[in-house]
A and B are shown apart, each in its own frame.
Chain A
């Protein structure tokens, strides 16, 4: 009984983790069909923001929930203005440019902060279920994932900005004709996507610590989740994170973490073989 409860919590944590790291990427991909290869480094920057500001004495919650997304969001807008803006419609080139950005950021952070693991302490302690101990922070992460998905859903579904965003997603030319500057929509979207990446990085920093190369460890899963989910941000991320997270966590329990990742990839490949546009390319096509 205790064990199965712990397993269930771990499953939820894995799914929540996938949602956290994939949301920012999914927003940018869903809107602009651009996969931001530097997404992992955006998370890394969020993590470093938390570590640095808490060292300066800022409250950890302020650092995670406000400063990390703000800093990375502003950085995202700068990147959009300097690089991405020139590459709309050249999808492959935008991938290459963001890859360049990713390498640059890893190198830059390594030079500035050194190639060492920096950490912050976890805000909550743990509690016991039978003989197992569970961190309260795990529940906080699950809650954060729910908040991520519902905030994106309500924004896209029920606000003016969300309406414009969805319209731009469907037909940018028509939106332009109706008097909306799609360039500003794209810029804002990229900024918001980056902010979500920063927030995710901040949230994960207390668990894993931060290191310049941490992006490479996270992005593989994030990419696969987004690509498997397809273009719909909420439905795609939820469904693929649910499927992939459950399977990989089950395999992890059976064999160890390494094969969990490999299985995640393999399942994603099979899903993509059947549904080349991702899950939401065929199912839930009308969802956001």
Chain B
């Protein structure tokens, strides 16, 4: 039993230790600009985790994960501006996204929509949110003190403060460490969830939905829970993004963000949690470099990567690399342990 537990956690433990090391040493070793860049990667990694979890471990492919990202950002913006404080709005944003996911999930899972329909419905919901928010430019769209501002976006969103120091804005280094701690916590929680009984049922749903329901599990309810958890994580990432940028505009709901999230997860590898984080780092770094040369349109790059991934590397970078390493390791007669999930 104990050896089982240790096997379950070997890869994840390594990733966690790596994460804690990054949390401690990055603000010491790097300068301000680089820390800010890395904070961005941390937030986007959390966003990627939300899809990595529901797609890789629940078999739910949401084409509109940016819907939760954007909703989290907007809910955080509106409630933080109104309350003048950030911890409770952060929780409100997470809760609102989980509820929204549950409501949407009710229609999709209890209607037993197939994969294609599910993809289309999530995509369209995001499109509609984008359109709705875009049309709130008029002065009549005001919630408390916060004007939604339509396509102009919501400016001057408060920077988050630590829960035990309300009213005191975080320094960039503190923010990096706080967000990194959240990322590590979510990673560990999701990993624990995947290894729990709930997670095993979820994986069996991914593998064979009919067989799982014939074994007496309520597939619809499980999927609803998985989707809501994914929505909550996506919403948390959105709130952190809004606070990091101190600004949100409706383009946070755009198809580009949903596509980016998908590409990170695909590139990193569906069915892992660590891979998508690698995907974020690799692709964001790539688009950062390409953006500096200003030769290529970002959408052309994204679209090409997505097509190539589907056609050439359907398993993703990280699993391909991992399998290669494991193969080499085995050839040397080493143990047959697997990498991080």
A216 touches B115 (CB 8 A): no
The interface residues of chain A lying within 8 Å CB-to-CB of B135 are 257-258
- Structural contact, A97 and B307, CB atoms closer than 8 A: yes
Interface segment, one of A102-110, A140-148, A161-169: A102-110
**B306 pairs with A100, CB closer than 8 A:** yes
Residues of chain B contacted by A60 (CB below 8 angstroms)? none
The answer to whether the Cβ of A35 comes within 8 Å of any Cβ in the partner chain is: yes
A224–B124 CB distance below 8 A = yes
Q: Are A107 and B123 in contact (CB under 8 A)?
A: no
Q: Are A276 and B310 in contact (CB under 8 A)?
A: no
B124's nearest neighbour on chain A, judged by CB, is: A220
How far does the Cβ of A218 sit from chain B's closest Cβ, in whole Å?
A: 10
Cβ-neighbour of B310 out of A87, A103, A269 (below 8 A): A87
**B132 beta carbon closer than 8 Å to chain A:** yes
* Bound-complex Cα distance A37 to B122 (A): 13
Is the pair B297, A96 in contact by a Cβ cutoff of 8 Å?
no
Contacts of B309 in A (CB 8 A): 96, 100
CB-nearest residue of chain B to A256: B135
The winner among B107, B121, B124 for most chain A CB atoms within 10 A is B124
Q: Count the B residues whose beta carbon is within 8 Å of the partner chain — how many?
A: 46
Give bound CA distance, A33 to B117, whole Å: 10
A89 CB → nearest B CB, Å: 13
Closest to B104 in A: A269
Q: Are A220 and B128 in contact (CB under 8 A)?
A: yes
C-alpha gap A99/B62 in the complex (Å): 13
Minimum Cβ distance to chain A for residue B263 (Å):
8
Judge whether B302 is part of the interface by a CB distance below 8 angstroms: yes
Please tell me if A101 contacts chain B, counting CB pairs below 8 Å: yes
Instruction: Tell me whether A93 is interfacial, beta carbon within 8 Å.
Output: yes
The reply to whether B131 and A107 form a contact with Cβ atoms under 8 Å apart is no
Q: Determine which of B120, B301, B310, B311 lies in contact with A35 in the assembled complex, contact meaning CB atoms within 8 Å.
A: B120
Taken together as a complex, chains A and B put the C-alpha atoms of A261 and B298 apart, in Å, by 29
Are B107 and A273 in contact (CB-based, < 8 A)?
yes
B120 touches A258 (CB 8 A): no
B259 — which chain A residues lie within 8 A by C-beta?
99-100, 103
**Pairwise interchain contact B110-A273, C-beta atoms closer than 8 A:** yes
